[in-house]
Chains A and B, each alone.
Chain A
Protein backbone atom coordinates (compact mmCIF):
# COMPACT_ATOMS: atom_id res chain seq x y z
CA UNK A 1 0.00 0.00 0.00
CA UNK A 2 2.63 2.48 1.08
CA UNK A 3 5.04 1.36 -1.64
CA UNK A 4 2.51 2.39 -4.27
CA UNK A 5 3.05 5.95 -3.03
CA UNK A 6 6.77 5.85 -2.34
CA UNK A 7 7.71 4.05 -5.56
CA UNK A 8 5.89 6.66 -7.62
CA UNK A 9 6.49 9.62 -5.34
CA UNK A 10 7.55 11.93 -8.14
CA UNK A 11 4.44 11.21 -10.17
CA UNK A 12 2.22 12.08 -7.21
CA UNK A 13 4.16 15.24 -6.34
CA UNK A 14 4.19 16.48 -9.95
CA UNK A 15 0.51 15.66 -10.33
CA UNK A 16 -0.62 17.47 -7.21
CA UNK A 17 1.66 20.41 -7.92
CA UNK A 18 -0.04 20.86 -11.28
CA UNK A 19 -3.43 20.50 -9.58
CA UNK A 20 -2.48 23.21 -7.11
CA UNK A 21 -1.27 25.56 -9.84
CA UNK A 22 -4.46 25.02 -11.84
CA UNK A 23 -6.50 25.69 -8.72
CA UNK A 24 -4.69 28.85 -7.68
CA UNK A 25 -4.53 30.49 -11.10
CA UNK A 26 -8.09 29.57 -12.09
CA UNK A 27 -9.29 30.54 -8.59
CA UNK A 28 -7.91 34.06 -8.76
CA UNK A 29 -9.05 34.57 -12.34
CA UNK A 30 -12.58 33.29 -11.70
CA UNK A 31 -12.93 35.53 -8.64
CA UNK A 32 -12.02 38.52 -10.78
CA UNK A 33 -14.21 37.55 -13.75
CA UNK A 34 -17.08 36.51 -11.49
CA UNK A 35 -17.05 39.86 -9.68
CA UNK A 36 -17.04 41.76 -12.97
CA UNK A 37 -19.96 39.66 -14.18
CA UNK A 38 -21.84 40.30 -10.95
CA UNK A 39 -21.30 44.03 -11.46
CA UNK A 40 -22.76 43.55 -14.96
CA UNK A 41 -25.80 41.80 -13.54
CA UNK A 42 -26.65 44.59 -11.11
CA UNK A 43 -25.71 47.48 -13.40
CA UNK A 44 -28.27 50.04 -14.66
CA UNK A 45 -27.36 49.27 -18.28
CA UNK A 46 -29.78 46.66 -19.69
CA UNK A 47 -27.33 45.30 -22.27
CA UNK A 48 -24.74 44.60 -19.57
CA UNK A 49 -27.37 42.87 -17.44
CA UNK A 50 -28.35 40.75 -20.43
CA UNK A 51 -24.74 39.74 -21.00
CA UNK A 52 -24.33 38.80 -17.37
CA UNK A 53 -27.55 36.81 -17.27
CA UNK A 54 -26.89 35.10 -20.57
CA UNK A 55 -23.39 34.13 -19.51
CA UNK A 56 -24.46 32.73 -16.16
CA UNK A 57 -27.42 30.78 -17.53
CA UNK A 58 -25.41 29.29 -20.34
CA UNK A 59 -22.38 28.28 -18.31
CA UNK A 60 -24.30 26.99 -15.31
CA UNK A 61 -26.27 24.69 -17.56
CA UNK A 62 -23.30 23.35 -19.51
CA UNK A 63 -21.19 20.46 -18.22
CA UNK A 64 -17.66 21.55 -17.36
CA UNK A 65 -16.44 18.64 -19.45
CA UNK A 66 -18.10 20.17 -22.49
CA UNK A 67 -16.48 23.54 -21.78
CA UNK A 68 -13.13 21.76 -21.67
CA UNK A 69 -13.82 19.84 -24.86
CA UNK A 70 -14.86 22.99 -26.66
CA UNK A 71 -11.73 24.87 -25.68
CA UNK A 72 -9.32 22.02 -26.38
CA UNK A 73 -10.80 20.59 -29.58
CA UNK A 74 -13.18 23.26 -30.83
CA UNK A 75 -11.45 26.59 -30.34
CA UNK A 76 -8.22 25.73 -32.23
CA UNK A 77 -10.38 24.84 -35.24
CA UNK A 78 -11.38 28.50 -35.52
CA UNK A 79 -7.80 29.56 -34.84
CA UNK A 80 -8.48 30.73 -31.31
CA UNK A 81 -5.95 28.88 -29.26
CA UNK A 82 -3.99 29.06 -26.07
CA UNK A 83 -0.26 28.39 -25.74
CA UNK A 84 -0.53 25.06 -23.88
CA UNK A 85 -3.15 22.58 -22.75
CA UNK A 86 -2.47 23.74 -19.21
CA UNK A 87 -3.73 27.18 -20.11
CA UNK A 88 -6.72 25.75 -21.94
CA UNK A 89 -7.58 24.02 -18.67
CA UNK A 90 -7.11 27.26 -16.72
CA UNK A 91 -9.45 29.10 -19.06
CA UNK A 92 -12.04 26.30 -19.02
CA UNK A 93 -12.08 26.21 -15.23
CA UNK A 94 -12.18 30.03 -15.00
CA UNK A 95 -14.98 30.46 -17.51
CA UNK A 96 -17.08 27.83 -15.75
CA UNK A 97 -16.37 28.75 -12.13
CA UNK A 98 -16.85 32.49 -12.65
CA UNK A 99 -20.53 31.89 -13.46
CA UNK A 100 -20.97 30.46 -9.97
CA UNK A 101 -18.84 33.18 -8.36
CA UNK A 102 -21.02 35.76 -10.12
CA UNK A 103 -24.22 34.34 -8.66
CA UNK A 104 -22.78 34.26 -5.15
CA UNK A 105 -21.50 37.81 -5.33
CA UNK A 106 -24.81 38.98 -6.73
CA UNK A 107 -26.91 37.34 -4.03
CA UNK A 108 -24.39 38.61 -1.48
CA UNK A 109 -24.99 42.13 -2.72
CA UNK A 110 -28.71 41.58 -2.27
CA UNK A 111 -28.21 40.82 1.44
CA UNK A 112 -26.97 44.37 2.10
CA UNK A 113 -29.82 46.51 3.50
CA UNK A 114 -31.08 49.01 0.90
CA UNK A 115 -30.62 51.86 3.42
CA UNK A 116 -26.88 51.44 3.17
CA UNK A 117 -26.83 52.06 -0.56
CA UNK A 118 -29.35 54.87 -0.24
CA UNK A 119 -27.26 56.58 2.40
CA UNK A 120 -24.17 56.22 0.25
CA UNK A 121 -25.93 57.75 -2.72
CA UNK A 122 -27.29 60.60 -0.66
CA UNK A 123 -23.73 61.69 0.08
CA UNK A 124 -23.17 61.79 -3.68
CA UNK A 125 -21.33 58.55 -4.39
CA UNK A 126 -21.40 57.17 -7.94
CA UNK A 127 -22.58 53.66 -8.82
CA UNK A 128 -19.06 52.27 -8.77
CA UNK A 129 -18.32 53.93 -5.44
CA UNK A 130 -21.52 52.65 -3.88
CA UNK A 131 -20.67 49.16 -5.05
CA UNK A 132 -16.96 49.23 -4.26
CA UNK A 133 -16.84 51.15 -0.99
CA UNK A 134 -20.16 50.44 0.70
CA UNK A 135 -21.97 47.41 -0.66
CA UNK A 136 -19.29 44.87 -1.58
CA UNK A 137 -17.35 45.08 1.71
CA UNK A 138 -20.57 44.39 3.61
CA UNK A 139 -21.68 41.72 1.19
CA UNK A 140 -18.33 40.05 1.67
CA UNK A 141 -19.49 38.37 4.89
CA UNK A 142 -22.41 36.66 3.24
CA UNK A 143 -20.19 35.78 0.30
CA UNK A 144 -17.28 34.03 1.96
CA UNK A 145 -18.88 30.73 3.07
CA UNK A 146 -20.54 29.85 -0.25
CA UNK A 147 -17.52 31.13 -2.11
CA UNK A 148 -15.33 28.70 -0.22
CA UNK A 149 -17.67 25.92 -1.36
CA UNK A 150 -17.20 27.03 -4.94
CA UNK A 151 -13.44 27.07 -4.49
CA UNK A 152 -13.52 23.56 -3.04
CA UNK A 153 -15.55 22.49 -6.04
CA UNK A 154 -13.02 24.17 -8.31
CA UNK A 155 -10.19 22.28 -6.65
CA UNK A 156 -11.99 19.00 -7.22
CA UNK A 157 -12.99 19.96 -10.76
CA UNK A 158 -9.34 20.29 -11.76
CA UNK A 159 -9.33 16.48 -12.07
CA UNK A 160 -11.36 16.79 -15.27
CA UNK A 161 -8.27 18.27 -16.96
CA UNK A 162 -6.88 14.72 -16.92
CA UNK A 163 -9.08 13.94 -19.89
CA UNK A 164 -7.54 16.84 -21.78
CA UNK A 165 -3.80 16.25 -21.69
CA UNK A 166 -2.97 17.99 -18.42
CA UNK A 167 -0.91 15.77 -16.13
CA UNK A 168 -2.55 16.73 -12.83
CA UNK A 169 -3.65 14.50 -9.96
CA UNK A 170 -6.59 13.09 -11.91
CA UNK A 171 -4.18 11.81 -14.58
CA UNK A 172 -2.22 9.70 -12.11
CA UNK A 173 -4.47 6.59 -12.41
CA UNK A 174 -3.86 6.32 -16.17
CA UNK A 175 -0.08 6.41 -15.70
CA UNK A 176 -0.29 3.94 -12.83
CA UNK A 177 -2.34 1.59 -15.00
CA UNK A 178 0.45 1.77 -17.57
CA UNK A 179 2.96 0.99 -14.83
CA UNK A 180 0.84 -1.95 -13.74
CA UNK A 181 0.41 -0.60 -10.22
CA UNK A 182 -2.46 -1.33 -7.86
CA UNK A 183 -5.26 0.97 -9.02
CA UNK A 184 -7.37 1.07 -5.88
CA UNK A 185 -4.33 1.83 -3.71
CA UNK A 186 -3.45 4.63 -6.15
CA UNK A 187 -6.93 6.08 -5.82
CA UNK A 188 -6.78 5.92 -2.03
CA UNK A 189 -3.58 7.97 -2.07
CA UNK A 190 -5.09 10.49 -4.47
CA UNK A 191 -8.05 10.82 -2.10
CA UNK A 192 -5.65 11.43 0.79
CA UNK A 193 -3.95 14.12 -1.28
CA UNK A 194 -7.23 15.89 -1.95
CA UNK A 195 -8.26 15.65 1.70
CA UNK A 196 -5.02 17.35 2.69
CA UNK A 197 -5.75 20.17 0.26
CA UNK A 198 -9.45 20.50 1.07
CA UNK A 199 -9.52 20.24 4.87
CA UNK A 200 -7.94 23.69 5.43
CA UNK A 201 -10.54 25.17 3.07
CA UNK A 202 -13.35 23.49 5.00
CA UNK A 203 -12.01 24.93 8.26
CA UNK A 204 -11.81 28.36 6.66
CA UNK A 205 -15.43 27.95 5.64
CA UNK A 206 -16.56 26.90 9.13
CA UNK A 207 -14.68 29.79 10.64
CA UNK A 208 -16.25 32.26 8.23
CA UNK A 209 -19.70 30.78 8.88
CA UNK A 210 -19.28 31.24 12.63
CA UNK A 211 -18.20 34.83 12.15
CA UNK A 212 -21.19 35.68 9.99
CA UNK A 213 -23.48 33.91 12.44
CA UNK A 214 -22.28 36.19 15.26
CA UNK A 215 -22.50 39.36 13.21
Chain B
Protein backbone atom coordinates (compact mmCIF):
# COMPACT_ATOMS: atom_id res chain seq x y z
CA UNK B 1 0.00 0.00 0.00
CA UNK B 2 1.01 3.55 -0.77
CA UNK B 3 0.36 4.58 2.80
CA UNK B 4 3.14 2.38 4.06
CA UNK B 5 5.68 4.12 1.85
CA UNK B 6 4.60 7.47 3.15
CA UNK B 7 4.86 6.35 6.73
CA UNK B 8 8.25 4.87 6.06
CA UNK B 9 9.53 8.04 4.47
CA UNK B 10 8.17 10.06 7.36
CA UNK B 11 9.94 7.78 9.76
CA UNK B 12 13.18 8.28 7.88
CA UNK B 13 12.67 12.03 7.92
CA UNK B 14 12.05 11.99 11.66
CA UNK B 15 15.12 9.87 12.23
CA UNK B 16 17.22 12.17 10.10
CA UNK B 17 15.93 15.10 12.08
CA UNK B 18 16.77 13.60 15.42
CA UNK B 19 20.18 12.68 14.09
CA UNK B 20 20.77 16.29 13.12
CA UNK B 21 19.55 17.54 16.47
CA UNK B 22 21.72 15.11 18.37
CA UNK B 23 24.70 15.80 16.15
CA UNK B 24 24.64 19.44 17.06
CA UNK B 25 24.06 18.74 20.70
CA UNK B 26 26.44 20.73 22.82
CA UNK B 27 26.64 21.54 26.49
CA UNK B 28 24.23 24.27 27.56
CA UNK B 29 25.35 27.74 26.62
CA UNK B 30 28.33 26.39 24.73
CA UNK B 31 26.31 26.08 21.55
CA UNK B 32 25.10 28.84 19.34
CA UNK B 33 26.54 29.77 16.01
CA UNK B 34 26.61 33.47 16.43
CA UNK B 35 26.41 36.58 18.47
CA UNK B 36 22.63 36.82 18.24
CA UNK B 37 22.21 33.69 20.32
CA UNK B 38 24.68 34.85 22.92
CA UNK B 39 22.78 38.09 23.50
CA UNK B 40 19.66 36.13 24.34
CA UNK B 41 20.95 34.28 27.34
CA UNK B 42 20.08 35.70 30.71
CA UNK B 43 23.09 37.11 32.51
CA UNK B 44 23.89 36.66 36.15
CA UNK B 45 21.05 37.29 38.56
CA UNK B 46 21.24 39.45 41.64
CA UNK B 47 22.63 37.68 44.69
CA UNK B 48 20.18 37.75 47.56
CA UNK B 49 20.88 36.53 51.05
CA UNK B 50 18.13 34.19 52.17
CA UNK B 51 16.67 35.43 55.44
CA UNK B 52 16.40 32.89 58.24
CA UNK B 53 13.87 32.37 60.99
CA UNK B 54 11.14 34.28 59.20
CA UNK B 55 7.57 33.78 60.32
CA UNK B 56 4.49 35.54 59.04
CA UNK B 57 1.91 35.06 61.73
CA UNK B 58 -1.60 34.49 60.47
CA UNK B 59 -0.65 33.96 56.84
CA UNK B 60 -2.22 30.85 55.35
CA UNK B 61 -0.15 31.25 52.20
CA UNK B 62 3.10 31.45 54.14
CA UNK B 63 2.22 28.28 56.04
CA UNK B 64 1.51 26.58 52.74
CA UNK B 65 4.85 27.64 51.26
CA UNK B 66 6.63 26.63 54.45
CA UNK B 67 5.23 23.11 54.35
CA UNK B 68 6.08 22.80 50.67
CA UNK B 69 9.55 24.28 51.15
CA UNK B 70 9.51 26.38 47.98
CA UNK B 71 7.24 29.18 46.80
CA UNK B 72 5.22 28.76 43.58
CA UNK B 73 5.34 32.10 41.78
CA UNK B 74 3.27 33.17 38.80
CA UNK B 75 5.30 35.07 36.20
CA UNK B 76 5.48 35.98 32.54
CA UNK B 77 8.06 34.27 30.37
CA UNK B 78 7.97 36.27 27.19
CA UNK B 79 8.78 39.80 28.28
CA UNK B 80 12.42 40.63 27.69
CA UNK B 81 14.00 42.44 30.64
CA UNK B 82 10.84 41.99 32.74
CA UNK B 83 9.75 38.40 32.99
CA UNK B 84 11.74 36.33 30.56
CA UNK B 85 12.82 32.75 30.06
CA UNK B 86 15.81 32.35 27.76
CA UNK B 87 16.64 29.49 25.44
CA UNK B 88 18.65 27.96 28.24
CA UNK B 89 15.58 27.85 30.47
CA UNK B 90 16.99 30.52 32.78
CA UNK B 91 14.71 33.30 33.90
CA UNK B 92 15.60 36.93 34.28
CA UNK B 93 14.21 40.45 34.25
CA UNK B 94 12.96 43.03 36.73
CA UNK B 95 9.84 41.10 37.75
CA UNK B 96 11.84 37.92 38.24
CA UNK B 97 14.28 39.79 40.48
CA UNK B 98 11.41 41.19 42.54
CA UNK B 99 9.94 37.70 42.89
CA UNK B 100 13.33 36.41 44.00
CA UNK B 101 13.78 39.27 46.44
CA UNK B 102 10.43 38.52 48.06
CA UNK B 103 11.23 34.81 48.31
CA UNK B 104 14.66 35.47 49.83
CA UNK B 105 13.23 37.82 52.44
CA UNK B 106 10.51 35.33 53.31
CA UNK B 107 13.28 32.87 54.07
CA UNK B 108 13.20 30.71 50.94
CA UNK B 109 16.07 30.09 48.56
CA UNK B 110 15.32 32.27 45.52
CA UNK B 111 17.10 29.83 43.23
CA UNK B 112 14.55 27.16 44.11
CA UNK B 113 11.40 29.10 43.23
CA UNK B 114 8.96 27.08 41.17
CA UNK B 115 7.81 29.41 38.39
CA UNK B 116 4.46 29.11 36.67
CA UNK B 117 3.54 30.99 33.55
CA UNK B 118 0.03 32.32 33.90
CA UNK B 119 -1.68 34.09 30.97
CA UNK B 120 -3.06 37.53 31.81
CA UNK B 121 -6.68 36.43 31.62
CA UNK B 122 -6.18 33.69 34.22
CA UNK B 123 -4.28 35.62 36.85
CA UNK B 124 -7.10 36.27 39.32
CA UNK B 125 -8.39 32.73 39.12
CA UNK B 126 -4.90 31.30 39.51
CA UNK B 127 -4.24 33.35 42.64
CA UNK B 128 -7.67 32.84 44.15
CA UNK B 129 -7.57 29.10 43.38
CA UNK B 130 -4.19 28.69 45.06
CA UNK B 131 -2.46 27.51 41.89
CA UNK B 132 0.30 30.00 42.75
CA UNK B 133 1.41 31.63 46.00
CA UNK B 134 2.06 35.06 44.59
CA UNK B 135 2.24 36.70 41.19
CA UNK B 136 4.86 39.10 39.87
CA UNK B 137 4.30 39.91 36.23
CA UNK B 138 3.36 43.43 35.10
CA UNK B 139 0.18 43.12 37.14
CA UNK B 140 -1.62 46.47 37.33
CA UNK B 141 -3.35 47.35 40.56
CA UNK B 142 -7.00 48.16 39.82
CA UNK B 143 -10.05 48.54 42.05
CA UNK B 144 -11.81 45.75 40.23
CA UNK B 145 -8.97 43.33 40.72
CA UNK B 146 -8.71 44.35 44.35
CA UNK B 147 -12.07 42.66 44.86
CA UNK B 148 -10.61 39.34 43.70
CA UNK B 149 -7.01 39.43 44.87
CA UNK B 150 -4.90 41.61 47.13
CA UNK B 151 -1.92 43.66 46.06
CA UNK B 152 1.38 44.48 47.69
CA UNK B 153 3.19 47.44 46.19
CA UNK B 154 3.23 49.11 43.76
CA UNK B 155 6.85 48.28 43.03
CA UNK B 156 6.93 49.99 39.62
CA UNK B 157 4.96 52.58 37.65
CA UNK B 158 4.53 52.15 33.91
CA UNK B 159 2.29 53.78 31.31
CA UNK B 160 0.38 52.40 28.38
CA UNK B 161 2.12 53.14 25.10
CA UNK B 162 2.31 51.95 21.52
CA UNK B 163 4.87 49.74 19.81
CA UNK B 164 4.99 50.28 16.03
CA UNK B 165 7.10 49.27 13.06
CA UNK B 166 10.11 51.57 12.92
CA UNK B 167 9.23 53.21 9.60
CA UNK B 168 5.57 53.80 10.50
CA UNK B 169 5.13 57.38 11.72
CA UNK B 170 1.35 57.50 11.39
CA UNK B 171 0.74 56.91 15.09
CA UNK B 172 3.28 59.29 16.56
CA UNK B 173 0.47 61.40 18.00
CA UNK B 174 -0.26 58.62 20.46
CA UNK B 175 -3.62 57.16 21.30
CA UNK B 176 -5.66 59.64 19.26
CA UNK B 177 -4.05 58.29 16.08
CA UNK B 178 -5.29 54.76 16.64
CA UNK B 179 -8.62 55.15 14.82
CA UNK B 180 -8.69 52.84 11.82
CA UNK B 181 -5.50 51.08 12.91
CA UNK B 182 -5.24 47.42 13.81
CA UNK B 183 -4.33 47.13 17.46
CA UNK B 184 -3.14 44.02 19.27
CA UNK B 185 -2.71 43.16 22.92
CA UNK B 186 -2.96 40.24 25.33
CA UNK B 187 -6.35 38.64 25.96
CA UNK B 188 -8.00 40.04 29.06
CA UNK B 189 -5.32 42.65 29.72
CA UNK B 190 -5.97 46.15 31.05
CA UNK B 191 -4.53 47.89 27.96
CA UNK B 192 -6.89 46.18 25.54
CA UNK B 193 -9.79 46.90 27.87
CA UNK B 194 -8.86 50.60 27.78
CA UNK B 195 -8.75 50.57 23.99
CA UNK B 196 -12.25 49.11 24.02
CA UNK B 197 -13.61 51.36 26.74
CA UNK B 198 -12.26 54.58 25.25
CA UNK B 199 -13.22 53.41 21.78
CA UNK B 200 -9.73 54.19 20.49
CA UNK B 201 -10.23 52.00 17.44
CA UNK B 202 -13.03 49.99 15.85
CA UNK B 203 -13.96 46.71 17.52
CA UNK B 204 -13.17 44.80 14.32
CA UNK B 205 -9.61 46.17 14.39
CA UNK B 206 -8.81 44.69 17.77
CA UNK B 207 -6.81 41.48 17.96
CA UNK B 208 -6.16 39.56 21.13
CA UNK B 209 -3.57 36.84 21.64
CA UNK B 210 -2.42 34.90 24.65
CA UNK B 211 0.95 36.63 24.82
CA UNK B 212 2.50 39.94 23.76
CA UNK B 213 5.14 38.07 21.76
CA UNK B 214 2.43 36.77 19.48
CA UNK B 215 1.23 40.34 18.97
CA UNK B 216 4.73 41.56 18.20
CA UNK B 217 5.11 38.74 15.68
CA UNK B 218 1.89 39.88 13.99
CA UNK B 219 3.17 43.47 14.04
CA UNK B 220 6.33 42.52 12.18
CA UNK B 221 4.24 40.55 9.71
CA UNK B 222 2.08 43.65 9.12
CA UNK B 223 -1.05 41.85 10.27
CA UNK B 224 -1.52 44.51 12.94
CA UNK B 225 -0.31 48.12 13.06
CA UNK B 226 0.39 48.61 16.73
CA UNK B 227 0.89 46.60 19.88
CA UNK B 228 -0.31 48.39 22.94
CA UNK B 229 0.57 47.75 26.52
CA UNK B 230 2.79 49.21 29.22
CA UNK B 231 5.90 50.97 27.96
CA UNK B 232 8.09 48.82 30.20
CA UNK B 233 7.08 45.74 28.24
CA UNK B 234 7.28 47.45 24.86
CA UNK B 235 10.75 48.84 25.50
CA UNK B 236 11.97 45.31 26.14
CA UNK B 237 10.91 44.33 22.62
CA UNK B 238 12.14 47.52 20.97
CA UNK B 239 15.53 47.04 22.59
CA UNK B 240 15.70 43.51 21.17
CA UNK B 241 14.93 44.52 17.58
CA UNK B 242 15.86 48.22 17.40
CA UNK B 243 16.07 48.15 13.58
CA UNK B 244 12.49 47.02 13.15
CA UNK B 245 10.54 48.33 16.13
CA UNK B 246 10.17 51.44 18.21
CA UNK B 247 8.03 52.72 21.05
CA UNK B 248 5.97 55.82 20.25
CA UNK B 249 6.70 57.34 23.65
CA UNK B 250 3.39 59.04 24.46
CA UNK B 251 2.12 57.09 27.47
CA UNK B 252 -1.60 57.52 28.10
CA UNK B 253 -2.12 55.84 31.43
CA UNK B 254 -0.48 55.13 34.71
CA UNK B 255 -0.08 51.47 35.56
CA UNK B 256 0.96 50.61 39.07
CA UNK B 257 2.53 47.18 39.14
CA UNK B 258 1.71 45.23 42.26
CA UNK B 259 2.45 41.77 43.58
CA UNK B 260 -0.74 39.72 43.42
CA UNK B 261 -1.59 37.81 46.60
CA UNK B 262 -4.59 35.82 47.82
CA UNK B 263 -7.39 38.20 48.82
CA UNK B 264 -7.72 37.14 52.44
CA UNK B 265 -4.03 37.11 53.29
CA UNK B 266 -3.45 40.54 54.83
CA UNK B 267 -0.55 39.30 56.93
CA UNK B 268 1.46 38.32 53.87
CA UNK B 269 0.59 41.57 52.11
CA UNK B 270 1.97 43.59 55.03
CA UNK B 271 5.10 41.47 55.06
CA UNK B 272 5.70 41.85 51.32
CA UNK B 273 5.10 45.59 51.57
CA UNK B 274 7.75 45.87 54.25
CA UNK B 275 10.14 43.88 52.04
CA UNK B 276 9.52 46.35 49.20
CA UNK B 277 9.95 49.29 51.56
CA UNK B 278 13.34 48.05 52.71
CA UNK B 279 14.50 47.44 49.14
CA UNK B 280 13.61 51.01 48.20
CA UNK B 281 15.52 52.52 51.09
CA UNK B 282 18.62 50.31 51.03
CA UNK B 283 19.22 50.73 47.30
CA UNK B 284 18.39 47.16 46.27
CA UNK B 285 15.47 48.32 44.12
CA UNK B 286 17.71 50.64 42.14
CA UNK B 287 20.29 47.92 41.64
CA UNK B 288 17.66 45.56 40.31
CA UNK B 289 16.24 48.20 37.99
CA UNK B 290 19.57 49.26 36.55
CA UNK B 291 20.52 45.67 35.79
CA UNK B 292 17.30 45.03 33.86
CA UNK B 293 14.90 47.70 32.59
CA UNK B 294 17.49 50.40 33.16
CA UNK B 295 19.41 49.03 30.18
CA UNK B 296 16.83 50.68 27.93
CA UNK B 297 18.36 54.03 28.91
CA UNK B 298 15.50 55.46 30.95
CA UNK B 299 15.90 56.09 34.64
CA UNK B 300 13.40 55.36 37.38
CA UNK B 301 12.88 55.50 41.11
CA UNK B 302 10.88 53.29 43.45
CA UNK B 303 7.26 54.45 43.69
CA UNK B 304 5.56 55.12 47.03
CA UNK B 305 3.72 52.12 48.43
CA UNK B 306 -0.05 52.07 48.73
CA UNK B 307 -0.77 50.14 51.86
CA UNK B 308 -4.31 49.13 52.69
Contact = CB atoms under 8 A, between A and B. Distances in A.
Question: Do A and B touch directly, given a CB cutoff of 8 Å in the complex?
Answer: yes
A188 interface: no
A73 B184 CA distance: 14
A54 B6 contact: yes
A49 B3 CA distance: 11
Contacts of A183: 125
A50 B144 CA distance: 58
Contacts of B207: 85, 165
Contact of A76 (B2, B147, B208, B221): B221
A49 B144 CA distance: 59
Contact of A180 (B122, B124, B210, B223): B124
Interface in A35-78: 49-50, 53-54, 57, 73, 76-77
A177 B188 contact: yes
A133 interface: no
B191 to A, nearest CB: 12
Contacts of A50: 2
Contacts of B173: none
A13 B124 CA distance: 26
A119 interface: no
Contact of B147 (A53, A54, A163, A180): A180
A175 B193 CA distance: 10
Given A178-B121, A178-B193, A183-B125, A57 B187 contact: no
A174 interface: yes
Contacts of A73: 214, 217-218
Contacts of A175: 188
B148 interface: yes
Chain B interface size, as a band, is 20 to 34
Nearest to B221: A76
A81 interface: yes
B144 A180 contact: yes
A178 B3 contact: no
A183 B217 CA distance: 30
B6 A57 contact: yes
Contacts of B222: 76
Contacts of A164: 209
Contacts of A177: 121-122, 124-125, 188
A37 to B, nearest CB: 15
Interface string A170-188: 0100110110100100000
A47 to B, nearest CB: 12
Nearest to A76: B221
Contacts of B214: 73
A81 B221 contact: yes
Interface string B207-235: 11110001001100111000000000000
The 8 lowest CB-CB distance pairs between A and B, nearest first, are A76-B221, A178-B188, A165-B207, A174-B121, A174-B187, A177-B121, A53-B2, A174-B188
Given A165-B208, A177-B125, 4 more contacts: A81-B223, A85-B207, A178-B121, A180-B144
